[in-house]
Amino acid sequence: MDFIKVAAACPITKVADVNYNLKNIFICLDKAKKEDAKLIVFPELAITSYTCGDLFLQSSLLDKSQKAIKELVIKSSKYDMLIAIGAPLLYNNSLYNCAYIIFNGKILGIVPKSFIPNYSEFYEKRWFTEGFGLIDQTVDFDYQKDIPFGTNLIFTSEECKFAFEVCEDLWVTVPPSSYLSLLGANIIGNLSASNELVSKKDYRNSLISNQSARCMSSYIYASAGVHESTTDMLFSGHLLISENGAILKENERFQRDNELIYSIIDVYKLNSERLKNISFRDSSKFVPFKGKYIKFTFNDKTINNFDRYIDKSPFVPSNKKLREERCKEIFNIQASALAKRMEHIRLKKAVIGISGGLDSTLALLVIVKAFKLLNLDNKNIIAITMPGFGTTDRTYNNALNLCTELGCDLREINIVAASLQHFKDIGHDKDIHDVTYENVQARERTQILMDIANKEGGLLVGTGDLSELALGWCTYNGDHMSMYSVNPSIPKTLVRYLVRYVAEKEATATVSETLLDILDTPVSPELLPKSDTGEIVQKTEDIVGPYELHDFFLYHFIKNGSSKERIKFLAIHAFKNDYSEEEIDKWLDKFIYRFFTQQFKRSAIPDGPKVGSISLSPRGDWRMPSDASFNSFK
């Protein structure tokens, strides 16, 4: 079960009118069933309403509440849905504010509120007893015996493990959900009655998103609504669904009708994050109690309308403002890392091969920024353009213009004669345009750059990006090698935005004009002869596939350890308007083949800064045998 659809509900209520409340609870359940929800979380004390005051001490209300729970249990079998509903429970002469967890004609368990607020506008201890520390108890009703009762209950169905807390439990220093998550719960429900005050919404949102991030869980929050008593407070019916720090869905508060929100939770991703996070696993030793696991099984897990948003560009924020902030931060990380390395080895010069392509352009911009940090003159940036058989006028002129506009020490070394001589030396026919033909040029360029770096006492800065490393789209000991690399954890889809960010935010008008033309140029290593009209013949994406697909594959393969089937499923939904299923299959197979067979190149890459959550550095983030088989992954 990779995905599950959940709901948060706020039904219309009347204070202390149990029958009226139950009627609207069933309306919500019917709506949730039509949406294929498998979990629904209702507000705190939704059966009675939260603001009953001293009526909670009346046996009539408590008896009526229990009859409503019984009716809900009996009718629950038609929903195939885990129901978390709030109601009071009289147990051993004490009254508890509880979450009743109901499924398929049975109460699976009852979770008492651990912490009872008794400050400011709250005085719940007048009626309720705290449940903190209550574990391994049982409750008997006339229609069901030995119902688990306690704060350590976890309800499990395959990979989904549900746990619940009530309102104030979230606001304490160590919420019960923190412990329950460490015991395996990955979906937390909070049945709440949080009154509305100015700015409280923002704090509540922060609290929920942060708790879901710390617990690496989904967090479903449902609060009481505007139909509660307004004697001293107003409740807004705030509904939230969060997943690992992100708010997936939030309602418009202050609604007067039955209100539901839905979202699809990626359970696989949550479990994957926990698997990688050793600190999360190690924290389980601090849990002061053992969990009680209650198993149940959904009859049908189908989600007929899979409407979860799948980002086509997971490395690139879709929000423009956030994207610009991210680009600024990444650019500063790159430049600061390079400045540190140059400062450490006490070099005042940098050497870079500049082609007029995206990667070398970004690397050059990073060097310029680093030199500014170090108060070094751009004349100490030795930019070398090395035209070969496939160099076009467009890339050549863009390289010249960019270096001139930035005030670099621009040098040109044509590699054609040297390459022809090398073909002769090794006995290779210059008219056979195979991998040898291409790699001779790439290695000739790298040799020139290395030798000039030695001659000038400079640092050779590499330009290759994360996407190229993933696919092995580089020449071993050619463009694969440098003395320090600045782009190794930046995917191709993000390189474009970084260059555009500099063009729009940091560059002069003339530099910006050149950068924008570079952005419009097809990606190519230009190692094959150009066309008769002088155009680029060798376009990378025609050979290895679209980078937007490969970056998508890479993200999900590395970030969550996703299988080919899962990546394909996600890609089909993300790119349904862009690529056919057959095209996705073709390029996914290509990705898996190249990723496995090209690991030997990644095992020998130079140092370079990590800027995001995914890196293929063999020294830290990705340790993989160079001879691992891909048969289990294709």
Annotated binding site for deamido-NAD(+): 439, 468, 473-476, 601
Nearest 5°: phi and psi at 73? Answer: -60, -45
Q: Locate 611 and state its tokens.
A: 């800027």
Q: Locate 17 and state its tokens.
A: 């009118």
> Is 113 noted as a catalytic residue in this protein?
yes
Spell out the residues 6+ positions from residue 95 whose beta carbon is closer than 8 angstroms to its own: 56, 57, 62, 88, 89, 127, 128, 129
Q: List the binding residues.
A: 119, 194, 200, 353-360, 439, 463, 468, 473-476, 601
Cα–Cα distance, 291 to 221 (Å, whole number): 22
Q: Are 479 and 446 in contact (CB under 8 A)?
A: yes
Q: Are 236 and 226 in contact (CB under 8 A)?
A: yes
Cα–Cα distance, 135 to 524 (Å, whole number): 64
Candidate list 10, 28, 44, 548, residue with the active-site label: 44
Nearest 5°: phi and psi at 206? Answer: -65, -40
Q: List the binding residues for ATP.
A: 353-360, 463
Cα–Cα distance, 265 to 248 (Å, whole number): 9
Q: Are 170 and 214 in contact (CB under 8 A)?
A: no
What is the DSSP track for 491-548? Answer: -HHHHHHHHHHHHHHTS-HHHHHHHHHHHTSPP----SPPPTTS-----HHHHH--HH
> Is 44 noted as a catalytic residue in this protein?
yes
Q: List the binding residues for L-glutamine.
A: 119, 194, 200
Backbone Cα Rg of the chain: 31
Candidate list 5, 38, 64, 113, residue with the active-site label: 113
Q: Locate 128 and state its tokens.
A: 């309720």
Q: Locate 413 and state its tokens.
A: 């070394």
Helix (H, G, I), strand (E, B) or coil at 458: strand
Residue 100: strand pairing partners: 85, 110
Q: Taking each helix axis as running N to C, give the angle between helix 320-345 and helix 492-505, from 0 to 180 degrees, rounded to the nearest 10.
A: 90
Q: Are 476 and 501 in contact (CB under 8 A)?
A: no
Cβ neighbours around 171 below 10 Å, total: 14
Closest CA to 149 of 139, 158, 162, 161: 139
Cα–Cα distance, 211 to 218 (Å, whole number): 9
Candidate list 10, 28, 160, 167, residue with the active-site label: 167
Dihedral angle, C-alpha 246, 502, 395, 459, nearest 10 °:
-100
Q: Locate 342 and state its tokens.
A: 């140059």
Cα–Cα distance, 151 to 177 (Å, whole number): 10
Q: Strands 144-149 and 349-353, how do they pair?
A: unpaired
Q: Which residues are catalytic, by number?
A: 44, 113, 167
